[in-house]
Structure 1
Amino acid sequence: MSTPTTPIPAETAADNQKKVLNRLKRAQGQLSSVIAAVESGAECRDVVIQLAAVSKALDRAGFTIVSSAMKDCVSGTGEKSDPMTVDELEKLFLTLA
C-alpha cells in the first residue's frame, strides 16, 4: 500500500537570496574572528578551525547560488541575462569543487 506524500514547496528566489546572505554574513563574522585570532597570536589549531568554518560557509553559499541557477535553468525561469548552458553550469559548479 502506498503512503500519500506531500509535495515539498519550491523555494523562491527570495528564499535562496536570504539563505545566501545569511551564510555570507556568518562567514563574514567568522572571518573577523579569524583575523582577530591571528592578530592576537592565537593558537594555530584555533585559527585553522575557524578558517575551516569560514571556508565551509562560503562553499555552502556558493553551492546554494549554483543550485538555484541550475533549478532556474531546468525550469526555464529566473535569469535576467541570457540563460546558462549545461556546460556553463557544470564549469561554474566545478569552480567550487
Structure 2
Amino acid sequence: MIKAIVMIQVDAASIPETAQAIADVPGVTEVYSCAGDVDLIAIMGVAKHEELADLIPGRISKIPGVVATDTHIAFRSYSRQDTEAAFSIGSEDAD
C-alpha cells in the first residue's frame, strides 16, 4: 500500500467542516487538525500512485475550504513496535 501524508491549508473559518469532508473521502485514513504552518494533515493509503493523482487534485483540492495542499509520499514506515519485533526475532530460541 502506498501511503501519502498531505499537508493542507484551509480557510480558518471552515476547518471542522473541511476536515470532516476530507475524512469522508475514500482512501483517506486519518485527518488531524494541527498547529503550525498547515491547518490539517491527512494520511492516505492507496494501491497505486495513479490513485493519488485522482485523490488529491481531483477530490481533496476541490473540497470547499481547501486553499492549498503539499503531498509527501512515504517510502518506509518505522515504529517502536516494528523495531522491537525485528530485534526479538529468534530471541525465544535463546533460552
Q: TM-score range by the shorter chain?
A: under 0.3
Greater strand proportion: 2
User: What TM-score, normalized by structure 2, do the two folds share?
Assistant: 0.24
Structure of greater relative contact order (alpha carbons < 8 Å, 6+ residues apart)? 2
User: What TM-score, normalized by structure 1, do the two folds share?
Assistant: 0.24
Greater helix proportion: 1
